[in-house]
């Protein structure tokens, strides 16, 4: 068993005292020289979430020298990388709401920017006053320096607020940016939550601070965090008319400085006539600047407030009882969901904007069939061709029988309405090109075309796919030879009894006993794309376990919890059990002020073997010796272990531990045990042990054991927890040649991960958590191939197929023989590791 001295690790990093911590940086915020005469300007739909329907799309507002992004849903960073949208060029990010749907990608984006270059970068982040709750939550894992440029606006509905705001004041435009390039304003929209409830009595203590005037005369609450939505108004300056020198000459002007003065808007005296010459005398009429509205009206409760926003009337082109016409809106991008957009009141409101182009960017079912990330779709289809047993068909191939209705048909009275598509543009400058631009919209991905390209590139892959298929046929034949005749008819089991070294836990294993799906491996295929039945999987979750606080391991958690809450709305359910390090609870508690996550939290330290034993014997909360050598007397980590933690609420922890016991029992597990590893403060691995079972003749078969390392250096705790494991899933962040960097960042190399599995006598080792700088198939000693395989996102491994697993690896190497990961933005690589 390796010792700490043999493998080495970064003690300061493990204790959270790394001197290279990005929190000490003064992150750079770029100040760009503006170009008031923009030759190119447009808005563009960035289709994050269009194919998965779980995240708000983003919108890019592009100028020659500035880039604005509206909403930063999960997947935005990966999207920008694939589509060559440079994150370093983004100046401002605006949130239409502050929730996991619109801001799930913000933590990763901030960390990526913080890790760029030698000095790091930051970006301005704008949102309604709810934004402060998100910022407070992110402080638990994002350096403060990355968030110093977050700016909130609008009312602050804290419990000690005493100011009563009128509805008209609340919906007044708030000017955020006003320069020679664009004027950008925000209009707050809040739901009329209590429109059907009686008003609170005047002597209520909440009456003076929490009740606003409603446009319909009814009382309503001032709102709570997470309720606010924003309409953004983007106004470009007018385009000045062309100067006519012939008119100037006719009015007695000589060519020279006076021509310039007139073009600048100043009046001058004629050189030959006793008159004043005004700009309107010699300039063609100015063209009004384009105006773009981004509207996010998430619920029908918000809709009533939206309809009452009087400040938007000035953008409708025709204003009642006013002598002059209002400003004319050029384009309206609707982020509102179909349930709101389909309301007649909403559609009537849309008509007020006359001939404006309406782009419906809510979740349109027709976009599900077009993967947002083509590279992901390509690799998913190729892997499925080679080995469909481990790699499910990509999601875009499973929609042929789905009804993909579009909402366009529901706007019969509005001719200028289209559904948003990924990378659809609306050109604002030059004026001659004003309007829609579909040239960047990607074509539909067809599996057959991807496979044709694969066969052309690697002709031998045809034979390889046949060999892979034969692996399962050979295993099935062996099974039939070994199954007794009297048992044959009732067998739905996969015993694999003849393979050498098969552990007893796999005897008579059933295919419905266990499926391991790799969701986040660091491979080039993002995990969230192209999975049918994802909603069912989220509905069926009973527990989520998080290894440590680094952003790449948990930033999607809030979105998963919120999605589960929405999917189970109106269905009786228990809060979801989340197990993680105590810093994660601080994040979830702070985030919970924005939206209800419907979860209950259990600290990983309460699921160690020693803590669970103390719970069973009634000594919970008393100091225990967990049997670990990692923090034992004389170890390098002893001082860290002795630091005081938060006081334990024994009653609360006991209640949650009872729930924990029930969850693992219902899952058919004998135990779920966390154990400390060496990476950062409060970093853990986890071991899951299944209950024993009996075969058809009453023989007791031991339960399988699955171990996940989390992020770690090699350590004896991991070896001990993995002893005789059926599967060890171990991080392999670095190649063997990068051993010094692995030690500095407290990660493992590929060979170290395999050695951990060998030392623990693990039956199968699955390598995961790869740096994107390295090949898709990590390089390691061929002598280890008999028990090792490499993980890919969405790889689905049935426990009955474990004997075949390593035999597939040579064919995977063939599939990627010409491929090295070349990330479009090298700055993205390892940014989280360097900034966390």
Per DSSP, the three-state class of 428 is strand
Residue stretches of the chain with pLDDT short of 50? 21-24, 159-167, 194-222, 319-325, 397-405, 480-499, 523-531, 638-646, 820-836
DSSP secondary structure of 135-183? HHHHTTTS-GGGGTTEEEES----TT--PPPPHHHHTS-EEEEESSS-E
Distance CA 159, CA 653 (A): 29
Please classify residue 794 by burial: count the beta carbons closer than 10 Å to its beta carbon, then call 0-12 exposed, 13-18 middle and 19+ buried.
buried
Show Cβ contacts of residue 501 under 8 Å, excluding neighbours closer than 6 positions. Answer: 763
Whether the CB-CB separation of 68 and 81 falls below 8 Å is answered with no
H or E stretch including 276?
Answer: strand 276-277
Please tell me the distance from the alpha carbon of residue 397 to that of residue 278, in angstroms, as a whole number: 65
Res 180: pLDDT? 87
Q: What is the pLDDT of residue 552?
A: 85
Number of other residues whose CB lies within 10 A of the CB of residue 504: 12
Q: State the Cα–Cα distance between residues 430 and 469, nearest whole angstrom.
A: 57
Q: Is residue 446 left, alpha or beta, with left meaning phi > 0 and alpha meaning psi from -120 to 50? A: beta
Give the per-residue pLDDT at 389.
94
Structure tokens that stand for 104 in this block: 């799930």
User: Given the DSSP bridges, would you call strands 693-694 and 684-690 parallel, antiparallel or unpaired?
Assistant: unpaired
Q: Which residues pair with 188 in a beta bridge?
A: 230
Q: Is 481 helix (H, G, I), strand (E, B) or coil?
A: helix
Helix axes 557-567, 582-591, angle to 10 degrees: 50
Q: What is the pLDDT of residue 116?
A: 77
Beta-bridge mates of residue 674? 608, 686
In the chain the first and final C-alpha atoms are separated, in Å, by 30
Residue 280's contacts (CB-CB under 8 Å, 6 or more residues apart) are none
3-class state of residue 417 by DSSP: strand
Contact status, residue 525 vs residue 379, Cβ threshold 8 Å: yes
For residues 575, 580, 586, 591, the Cα torsion angle rounded to the nearest 10 degrees is -50
Nearest-angstrom CA–CA distance, 732 and 749: 5
pLDDT value, residue 494? 38
Determine the Cα–Cα distance for residues 508 and 701; give it in Å rounded to an integer: 9
Dist. CA 60–CA 63, nearest whole Å: 10
Residue 733 CA from chain centroid, whole number: 21
Q: Which of 242, 197, 248 is nearest to 221 (CA)?
A: 197
Q: Which helix (H) or strand (E) holds 823?
A: none
Q: What is the length of the chain?
A: 836
Neighbours of 603 (CB within 10 A): 23
Of 554, 551, 552, 576, the residue nearest 565 (C-alpha): 576
Domains and CATH numbers, the chain: 34-197+209-239+288-437 (3.60.15.10), 245-282 (no CATH), 459-817 (3.60.15.10)
Q: Which tens digits make up the pLDDT trace of 441-468?
A: 888 778 888 999 999 999 999 999 999 9
For residues 363 and 296, the answer to whether their CB atoms sit within 8 Å is: no
- Quick check: 124 and 93 in contact, CB under 8 A? yes
């Amino acid at each position: 068993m390796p010792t700490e001295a043999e493998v080495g690790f970064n003690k300061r990093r493990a204790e959270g005292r790394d001197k290279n911590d990005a929190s000490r940086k003064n992150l750079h915020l770029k100040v760009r020289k503006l170009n008031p005469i923009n030759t190119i300007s447009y808005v563009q739909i960035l289709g994050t979430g269009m194919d998965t329907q779980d995240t708000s799309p983003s919108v890019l507002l592009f100028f020659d020298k500035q880039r604005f992004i509206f909403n930063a849903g999960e997947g935005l960073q990966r999207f920008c990388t694939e589509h060559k949208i440079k994150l370093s060029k983004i100046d401002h990010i605006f949130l239409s709401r502050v929730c996991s749907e619109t801001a799930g990608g913000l933590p990763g984006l901030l960390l990526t920017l913080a890790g760029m270059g030698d000095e790091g970068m930051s970006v301005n982040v704008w949102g309604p006053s709810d934004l402060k709750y998100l910022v407070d939550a992110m402080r638990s894992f994002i350096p403060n320096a990355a968030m110093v440029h977050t700016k909130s606006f609008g009312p602050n509905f804290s419990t000690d607020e005493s100011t009563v705001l009128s509805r008209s004041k609340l919906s007044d435009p708030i000017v955020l940016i006003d320069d020679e390039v664009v004027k950008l304003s925000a209009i707050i929209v809040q739901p009329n939550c209590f429109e059907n409830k009686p008003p609170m009595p005047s002597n209520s203590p909440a009456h003076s601070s929490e009740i606003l005037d409603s446009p319909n005369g009814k009382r309503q609450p001032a709102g709570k965090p997470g309720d606010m939505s924003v309409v953004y108004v983007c106004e470009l300056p007018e385009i000045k008319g062309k100067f006519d020198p012939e008119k100037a000459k006719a009015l007695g002007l000589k060519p020279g400085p006076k021509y310039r003065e007139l073009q600048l808007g100043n009046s001058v005296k004629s050189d030959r006539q006793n008159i004043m010459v005004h700009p309107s005398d010699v300039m063609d009429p100015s063209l009004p600047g384009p105006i773009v509205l981004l509207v996010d009206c998430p619920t029908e409760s918000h809709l009533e407030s939206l309809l009452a926003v009087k400040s938007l009337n000035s953008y409708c082109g025709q204003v009642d009882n006013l002598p002059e016409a209002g400003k004319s809106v050029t384009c309206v991008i609707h982020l509102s969901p179909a349930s709101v957009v389909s309301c007649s009141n909403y559609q009537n409101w849309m008509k007020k904007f006359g001939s404006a182009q309406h782009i419906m960017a809510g979740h349109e079912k027709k976009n599900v069939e077009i993967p947002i990330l083509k590279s992901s779709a390509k690799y998913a289809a190729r892997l499925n061709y080679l080995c469909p047993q481990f790699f499910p068909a990509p999601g875009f191939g499973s929609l042929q029988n789905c009804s993909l209705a579009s909402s366009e048909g529901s706007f019969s009275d509005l001719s200028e309405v289209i559904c948003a598509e990924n990378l659809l543009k609306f050109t604002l400058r030059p004026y001659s090109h004003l309007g829609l631009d579909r040239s960047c919209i990607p074509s539909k991905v067809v599996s057959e075309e991807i496979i044709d390209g694969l066969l052309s590139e690697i002709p031998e892959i045809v034979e390889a796919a046949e060999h892979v298929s034969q692996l399962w046929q050979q295993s099935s034949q062996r099974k039939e030879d070994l199954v007794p005749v009297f048992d044959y008819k009732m067998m739905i089991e996969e015993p694999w009894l003849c393979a050498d070294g098969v552990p007893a836990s796999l005897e008579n294993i059933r295919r419905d006993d266990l499926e391991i799906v790799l969701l986040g491996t660091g491979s080039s295929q993002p995990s969230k794309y192209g999975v049918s039945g994802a909603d069912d999987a989220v509905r069926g979750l009973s527990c989520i376990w998080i290894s440590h606080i680094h952003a790449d391991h948990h930033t999607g958690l809030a979105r998963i919890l919120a999605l589960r809450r929405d999917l189970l709305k109106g269905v009786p359910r228990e809060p979801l059990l989340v197990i993680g390090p105590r810093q994660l609870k601080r994040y979830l508690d702070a985030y919970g002020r924005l939206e209800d996550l419907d979860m209950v939290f259990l600290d990983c330290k309460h699921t160690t073997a020693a803590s669970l034993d103390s719970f069973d014997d009634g000594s919970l909360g008393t100091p225990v010796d967990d049997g670990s050598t990692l923090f034992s007397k004389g170890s390098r980590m002893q001082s860290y272990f002795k630091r005081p933690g938060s006081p334990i609420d024994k009653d609360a922890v006991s209640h949650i531990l009872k729930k924990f016991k029930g969850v693992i029992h219902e899952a058919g597990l004998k135990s779920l045990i966390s154990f400390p590893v060496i990476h950062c403060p409060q970093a853990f691995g986890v071991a899951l042990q299944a209950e024993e079972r009996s075969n058809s003749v009453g023989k007791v078969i031991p339960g399988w054991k699955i171990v996940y390392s989390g992020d770690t250096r090699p350590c004896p705790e991991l070896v001990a927890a993995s002893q005789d494991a059926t599967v060890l899933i171990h991080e392999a962040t670095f190649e063997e040649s990068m051993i010094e960097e692995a030690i500095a960042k407290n990660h493992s190399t590929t060979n170290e991960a395999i050695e951990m599995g060998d030392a623990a006598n693990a039956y199968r080792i699955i390598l995961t958590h790869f740096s994107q700088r390295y090949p898709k198939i990590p390089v390691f000693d061929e002598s280890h191939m008999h028990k090792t395989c490499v993980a890919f996102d969405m790889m689905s491994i049935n426990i009955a197929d474990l004997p075949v697993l390593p035999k597939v690896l040579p064919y995977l190497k063939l599939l990627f023989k010409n491929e090295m990961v070349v990330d479009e933005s090298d700055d993205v690589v390892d940014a989280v590791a360097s900034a966390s």
